[in-house]
Structures are given as C-alpha cells and as structure tokens.
C-alpha cells in the first residue's frame, strides 16, 4: 500500500515516504537571534568568512534557505558559498552564492525547479540532498568591499542513528566561467554562413567545460548564464559528455536549447519547469542575457573512473560570448582539485570586445 501511495504522490527518490515512521531527528542551523529578540541575522564584514553550519553525522542536509541584505552591486558574484564533508580540506562545493542558485548574471530573478528556486523577495532555496557520514560544514565568505548587512539562513538537516549505506555518494558543485569564450574566428556575419556551418568538431576540442571529475559517481545537472558579446543566436553549440576517459563524446546533443529541453532558440517567452527551463531570455543581440538549467534527476549520468561535461560555444566553438555556470554531481571522495575560483572583479559580468557582428571592437585574430 505504501508503494502505491508513493507512486500516486510521485515522490522523488530522496523524499521520505510520509506513510512510514521516520527514524531520523530533524535539526536546523539558523541565524535566529540567540537572545530570543528579533535580530535574526548576521553581519559579515568584507573579507570575513562566516560558518552557517557545523555539525556531526551521520546525517543529510535536506533544505537550505538564504536571503541577503546587501546593497553592493553584484553582491551575488562577490559572496562565495563553500561546503565541506567529513573534514576534507578542500570544499566539495565552491561557487559564488548567486550562481549556485542559478543567478549567474549577478542579479535577482524569480524561478522555480524541483532542486533550486528563487522566490520573492530574494529568497534562495536548495532542495539537493546532501549526505555526510561524520561531519558537515558550510561557510559564506564576503569578498565584496561592503559588509553583508543582514545574512539570514535556515539549514535543515537530518541526523540518524544508523550509518549511511557504504555506497553513499557526496554532493558536489563546481563554478566555471569564460569571459569570454574564445571563438576561433570573428570573420562571420551570421551563424549560418558556410565558414561556420561546415566546420567539424567531432571530439569537442575547445568546448566550454562545465565540470570534470575523477572517481565514480553521477552527474545530475547544470545551471548556466550567458552574456552575449555578439549578435545572433548564442546557442548553436552542442552538449558533449565524455565518460570514463572516452576520447570522443559518449553522449552528444543537437544544440544548446535542445539540451536545456527547449526548441527553436527558446522562442521569446521564458519558462521554468521541474527539471529544465530558461527563466531569463532578453534577446539575441550583443548585450542580451540568458539563464538556463537542466537537471538529470530522471536519469543521472553515471561514471566509474572519470567524467567531463562540456558544451560548444556556437557551432564548433565559433562564438565568443561570456558563459557562467555551476555543475552539480554526486561522487565518492576524495574529489579532484577544482579550478581556482576567479578573482572577484573578474567574476562580474561585463561585455567584452571580441569582434564579429555586434561587437564594438574587432581584435586581432587568434
């Protein structure tokens, strides 16, 4: 009967079956005023790191909520979120806080999905399950020039008396950016010219990389934002995944909007659904902005030794737009070293003079 109820309610695999008695105890780390008054926030000075969760396991984080009182421009790019599991020295999650919640352009907008959402007003929510065997620590670092005047947070987690299953994987999230991606030519008028369309790219050379991992685990998705430096549609690029050391793509797609489960350049209406969406669409000219996401919780992509997730920037990588992304996956530990986080001023989205249609300056060819 319980299985029938779960099926009828369409429970996600990580959601507890409410028809069965749960054995965990639910806990919360919060910015609640410890005196019982109403100052339910923390102030984080420039350059300071504040720990928002520090607890022992075994357990699993089930929900994270933040809201930020910070008037500094691009504060979503200046504040860094990190997560550490079981005493590791290097974080399994390292990303500007806005990018983690799909706000890769440094500004707030409302959107919703099954795993992440941003509600009114400036409410950041994560429902990714994040298990830990012995210990979990989450920090927020202010790399801005002004204080975070009000950091509010609630982090809900379960503690269980039973150890985690031995094959339990850890949550990871990695930020990457290219400002700009380096297209191989600026001598094009539109995406459809033969110079571009006839260029082969069978092995994903010079693709934009969402993430790379060694070990075993499974990729579960990506959020990505694009600031166009050039005119025309940015998304002629194909997604390509390389599993367990493959030299050619193990999985290859048909176009950027197709990977994010839209079609025909997304049309002109933004959308957001449980596992995919394009919540920001402002056009297809230099200066236009797009934000997209895709989660593979219907069918995560497994790997046993290594994994690389990539996408072309234009067909065969001919375009030079700005890409900002966070990839999400689960794997065993230890994880491979992440690329260094770019300095804060390099993370701020800015148009680049790259040549080509719509670009103000035509730089020397590569």
Q: Is residue 14 part of a domain?
A: no
Q: Is 59 in the same domain as 145?
A: yes
Q: Which two tokens stand for residue 139?
A: 């920090």
In this prediction, residue 268 carries a pLDDT of 85
pLDDT digits (tens, 9 = 90+) for 173-201: 999 999 999 999 999 999 999 999 999 99
The CATH number of the domain holding residue 202 is 2.60.120.1390
Q: Is 316 in the same domain as 185?
A: yes
What percent of the chain has pLDDT above 70? Answer: 95
Q: Is 39 in the same domain as 139?
A: yes
pLDDT digits (tens, 9 = 90+) for 216-265: 999 999 999 999 999 999 999 999 999 999 999 999 999 999 999 999 99
pLDDT digits (tens, 9 = 90+) for 250-263: 999 999 999 999 99
In this prediction, residue 14 carries a pLDDT of 63
**Distance between CA atoms of residues 258 and 301, nearest Å:** 17
Q: Is 219 in the same domain as 337?
A: yes
Q: Which two tokens stand for residue 126?
A: 């994560």
In this prediction, residue 9 carries a pLDDT of 43
Specify whether the CB–CB gap between 313 and 323 falls below 8 A: yes
CA pseudo-torsion sign 68, 72, 73, 75: negative
Q: Is residue 33 part of a domain?
A: yes
Q: Is residue 11 part of a domain?
A: no
In this prediction, residue 16 carries a pLDDT of 85
Give the residue-averaged pLDDT of 157-166: 92
Q: Is 80 in the same domain as 152?
A: yes
Q: Is residue 209 part of a domain?
A: yes
pTM for the structure as a whole: 0.94
pLDDT digits (tens, 9 = 90+) for 318-365: 999 999 999 999 999 999 999 999 999 999 999 999 999 999 754 444
In this prediction, residue 361 carries a pLDDT of 57
Q: Is 114 in the same domain as 182?
A: no
Q: Is residue 58 part of a domain?
A: yes
In this prediction, residue 161 carries a pLDDT of 84
What percent of the chain has pLDDT above 90? Answer: 92
Residue 341 Cα distances to 127, 234, 346, angstroms: 24, 25, 10
∠306-82-104 over CA atoms, to 5°? Answer: 85
Q: Is residue 264 part of a domain?
A: yes
pLDDT digits (tens, 9 = 90+) for 286-310: 999 999 999 999 999 999 999 999 9
Calculate the CA 192 to chain-centre distance: 30
Banded model confidence at residue 283, pLDDT cuts 50, 70, 90:
very high
User: Which of the two residues, 47 and 23, has the higher pLDDT score?
Assistant: 47
Q: Is 139 in the same domain as 177?
A: no
Q: Could you give the count of Cα atoms lying within 13 Å of 27 in the half-sphere of its Cβ?
A: 16
- For the ranges 15-24, 108-117, 118-127, 325-334, which has the lowest average pLDDT? 15-24
In this prediction, residue 2 carries a pLDDT of 37
Q: Is 192 in the same domain as 118?
A: no
Q: Is residue 306 part of a domain?
A: yes
Beta strand pairing call for 135-142 and 79-85: antiparallel
**Distance between CA atoms of residues 299 and 281, nearest Å:** 27
Which domain does 328 fall in, by range? 170-347
By three-state DSSP, how is residue 2 classified? helix
Q: Is 92 in the same domain as 209?
A: no
Q: Is 217 in the same domain as 311?
A: yes
Q: Which two tokens stand for residue 244?
A: 């367990």
In this prediction, residue 364 carries a pLDDT of 40
For the chain, the domain total comes to 2
**Distance between CA atoms of residues 289 and 309, nearest Å:** 22
Q: Is 195 in the same domain as 317?
A: yes
Given 159, 191, 224, the domain boundary residue is 159
Q: Is 176 in the same domain as 291?
A: yes
Q: Which two tokens stand for residue 97?
A: 């806080």
Given 111, 128, 159, the domain boundary residue is 159
Give the residue-averaged pLDDT of 26-46: 98
Please determine, for residue 13, whether its predicted confidence score (pLDDT) is greater than 80. Answer: no
**Distance between CA atoms of residues 269 and 265, nearest Å:** 10
Nearest to 319 by CA among 290, 355, 362: 355
Q: Is residue 268 part of a domain?
A: yes
Specify whether the CB–CB gap between 116 and 102 falls below 8 A: yes
């Amino acid at each position: 009967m319980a299985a029938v109820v779960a099926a009828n309610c369409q429970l996600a695999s990580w959601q507890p079956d409410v028809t069965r008695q749960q054995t965990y105890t639910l806990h919360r780390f919060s910015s609640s005023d410890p005196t019982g008054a109403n100052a339910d926030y923390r102030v984080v000075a420039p350059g300071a790191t504040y720990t928002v969760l520090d607890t022992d396991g075994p357990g699993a984080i089930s929900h994270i909520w933040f809201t930020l009182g910070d008037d500094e421009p691009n504060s979503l790019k200046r504040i860094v979120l990190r997560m550490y599991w079981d005493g590791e020295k290097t974080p399994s999650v390292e990303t500007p806080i806005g990018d983690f919640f799909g706000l890769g352009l440094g500004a707030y907008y409302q959107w919703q999905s099954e795993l992440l959402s941003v509600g009114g007003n400036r409410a950041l929510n994560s429902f990714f399950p994040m298990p830990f065997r012995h210990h979990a620590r989450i920090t927020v670092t202010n790399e801005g020039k002004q204080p975070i005047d009000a950091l509010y947070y609630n982090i809900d987690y379960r503690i269980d008396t039973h150890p985690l299953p031995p094959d339990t994987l850890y949550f990871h999230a990695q930020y990457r950016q290219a400002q700009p991606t380096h297209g191989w030519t600026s001598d094009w008028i539109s995406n459809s010219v033969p110079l571009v369309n006839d260029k082969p790219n069978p092995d994903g050379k010079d693709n934009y990389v969402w993430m790379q991992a060694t070990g075993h685990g499974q990729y579960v998705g990506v959020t990505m934002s694009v600031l166009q430096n050039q005119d025309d549609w940015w998304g002629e690029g194909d997604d390509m995944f390389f599993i367990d050391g493959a030299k050619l793509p193990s999985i290859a797609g048909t176009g950027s909007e197709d990977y994010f489960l839209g079609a025909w350049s997304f049309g002109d209406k933004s959308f957001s659904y449980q596992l995919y969406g394009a919540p920001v669409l402002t056009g297809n000219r230099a200066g236009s902005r797009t934000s997209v996401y895709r989660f593979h919780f219907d069918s995560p992509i497994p790997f046993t030794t290594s994994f690389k997730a990539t996408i072309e920037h234009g067909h065969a990588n001919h375009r030079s737009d700005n890409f900002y992304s966070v990839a999400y996956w689960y794997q065993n530990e230890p994880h491979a070293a992440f690329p260094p986080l770019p300095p804060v001023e390099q993370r701020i989205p800015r148009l680049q003079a790259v040549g080509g249609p719509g670009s103000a300056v035509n730089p020397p060819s590569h």
